[in-house]
Amino acid sequence: MTNRTVVDEHSDQAQRRDVALWRYDVLGRAPGRELQALVDIAAQLCAVPTAAINLITSTEQQQIATTGFEPSICAREDSMCAAVLEHTDRVVVPNASVDERFRDNPFVTGILGDVRFYASAPLTTPEGVIVGRLCVFDGVPRELDEAQEEALVAIAERVVDVLELRLRTRELEDSLAALTQARDELHRSNEALSVFAGQVSHDLRTPLTAIMASTEMLGQREAVVADQWSGRLVATAFRSATRMAGMIEQILAHARVGAELHKSPTDLRTVLDSVLEDLAPTLSARRASVDVGDLPSIPADAQQLYSVLLNIVSNAIKYARPDVPPAIAITADQHDRSWRICVRDNGIGIAPADRGRVFDLFNRVETSVDGSGIGLATVKRIIEAHGGSIGISPVDGPGTIVWFELPAADSSDEVRES
């Protein structure tokens, strides 16, 4: 190994050590009770009057906790621990004044101290970086027995555990703060979107209402009624304006989702009964059948879940196969702490490539049935606002399974019999 290679390795190790110490953020700070307790225990177990937790940077040694004296900082070249920093195991020196590694050290010669006995164990991070050493020392020569040496190593490992625990706690606190800020920003964004959509919807509805009223009146004029072509144009204009009014309402509903939830214990079967009651004329006209399994009670916004089920069941009816009565099955299963609600139909189905993008706003799949591309996007926003998820599963044969998962109140949720 060349001298240049050795220098590069030492430089890399020093850089990794400085990064690790920067992440631990303990240099220049009070030790805290845990580190102080550990260094005190090390001194007691080794029966010495002094001990220290020494962290070594590229330029100096900092003592972050000590027993028997006040913590201090010294140059790296004066540090006894720096002289054996890369040793991966304990170092025990009964008399430093006759050890060639330490006999000229200022902490041994009397310039900075009169150390004779010295023992230390490495402070090694989980990534294998030695950031310093836990050391015990005395002004007189002495020995350690095997149990004391092993205890010194074990305490050094606990020192790193404390540093790691502090680091993870700080990272968790930072993550929590970031998540809280993101949640608050999302809440403000939802509120702003709701206000914007409400204003835009109001501004659009006013002239649109006038257009609908005018076309309706125009369609009743004798000249229009008498002319088939004119009547068809007026009727088309009125239907288009009506569809536009519906889309505006859907956009407003989409924008409002998540701005404010009113969660309470909600019986999904009760919500579904309301949906089926409102869809009764359509179900009857299409000769549709609906089979409902046991459904749970969960914490949710009942009105918004009504919109979810109304949209999904309506789609199951709307996207039926020609001349095939819709057959819809609604079931629920509990997975860990969530409920999965499945709505299966026997309709035209959704191509695999389209199963993800149908939940995107204004994204419609190629079918013979008109749609706004807003409904399922709003459903997804409602489910995610509740802390859940939604998706589409393949089925054997024709049809589709649309499922959504919502958190359960607890493991003792009761299932209501249909």
Whole-angstrom distance, CA of residue 350 vs CA of residue 92 = 73
**Helix/strand/coil for 389:** strand
Whole-angstrom distance, CA of residue 320 vs CA of residue 345 = 8
| pLDDT tier at 191, thresholds 50, 70, 90 | low
Least confident of 30-44, 199-213, 227-241, 311-325: 199-213
Q: Which residue has the higher pLDDT, 89 or 29?
A: 89
Q: Residue 170's pLDDT is what? A: 86
Q: Which residue has the higher pLDDT, 354 or 227?
A: 227
Average pLDDT, the chain: 82
Cα 15–20–21 angle (5° rounding)? 100
Q: Residue 219's pLDDT is what? A: 79
Amino acid code (one letter) for 264: S
As to burial, measured by CB atoms within 10 angstroms (0-12 exposed, 13-18 middle, 19+ buried), residue 276 is middle
- Count CB-CB contacts under 10 A for residue 284: 9
Q: Residue 370's pLDDT is what? A: 43
286, HSE (Cβ side, Cα atoms, 13 Å): 23
Q: Which residue has the higher pLDDT, 13 or 86?
A: 86
pLDDT over threshold 70, residue 44: yes
Q: Residue 77's pLDDT is what? A: 93
Which residue from 257, 259, 276 is spatially nearest to 377, judged by alpha carbons? 257
| pLDDT tier at 131, thresholds 50, 70, 90 | very high
7-28 pLDDT tens trace:
344 667 788 888 888 888 888 8
Q: Residue 379's pLDDT is what? A: 84
As to burial, measured by CB atoms within 10 angstroms (0-12 exposed, 13-18 middle, 19+ buried), residue 106 is middle
Q: What are phi and psi of 406, to 5 degrees?
A: -135, 145
| pLDDT tier at 304, thresholds 50, 70, 90 | confident
pLDDT over threshold 80, residue 373: no
Q: What are phi and psi of 289, to 5 degrees?
A: -115, 145
Pairing of strands 60-67, 73-75: antiparallel
Q: Residue 281's pLDDT is what? A: 85
Report, as an integer, the average pLDDT of 292-305.
Answer: 89
Report, as an integer, the average pLDDT of 181-205.
Answer: 67
| pLDDT tier at 362, thresholds 50, 70, 90 | very low
Instruction: Using the CB atoms, write b or e for 155-174: b if 16+ within 10 Å.
Output: bbebbbebbeebbeeeeeee
DSSP codes, 297-354: EEEE-HHHHHHHHHHHHHHHHHTPPTT---EEEEEEEEETTEEEEEEEE-SS---GGG
Least confident of 43-52, 253-262, 328-337, 351-360: 253-262
What percent of the chain shows pLDDT beyond 90?
Answer: 42
> Domain spanning 261-416: which CATH class is it, in words?
alpha beta
Whole-structure pTM value: 0.49
**CATH 3.30.565.10 occupies which residues in the chain?**
261-416
Cα 171–128–28 angle (5° rounding)? 55
Q: Residue 367's pLDDT is what? A: 45
Q: Residue 409's pLDDT is what? A: 66
Q: What are phi and psi of 293, to 5 degrees?
A: -90, -165
Q: Residue 221's pLDDT is what? A: 82
**CATH 3.30.450.40 occupies which residues in the chain?**
3-172
- Count CB-CB contacts under 10 A for residue 94: 14
Instruction: Using the CB atoms, write b or e for 178-190: b if 16+ within 10 Å.
Output: eeeeeeeeeeeeb
Report, as an integer, the average pLDDT of 56-81.
Answer: 93
Whole-angstrom distance, CA of residue 72 vs CA of residue 121 = 19
Cα 285–307–203 angle (5° rounding)? 105
Residue with tokens 């009743």: 220
Instruction: Using the CB atoms, write b or e for 393-415: b if 16+ within 10 Å.
Output: eeeeeebbbbbbbbebbeeebeb
Residue with tokens 């069941």: 313
Q: Residue 411's pLDDT is what? A: 39
Which residue from 95, 36, 29 is spatially nearest to 65, judged by alpha carbons? 36
DSSP codes, 11-80: HHHHHHHHHHHHHHT-TTS--HHHHHHHHHHHHHHTT-SEEEEEEE-SSEEEEEEEESS---EEEGGG-H
Q: Could you confirm whether domain 3-172 is CATH 3.30.450.40?
A: yes
DSSP codes, 139-200: SS-----HHHHHHHHHHHHHHHHHHHHHHHHHHHHHHHHHHHHHHHHHHHHHHHHHHHHHHH
For 393, the enclosing helix (H) or strand (E) is: strand 389-393
pLDDT over threshold 90, residue 4: no
- Count CB-CB contacts under 10 A for residue 250: 18
Pairing of strands 91-93, 73-75: unpaired
Q: Residue 61's pLDDT is what? A: 94
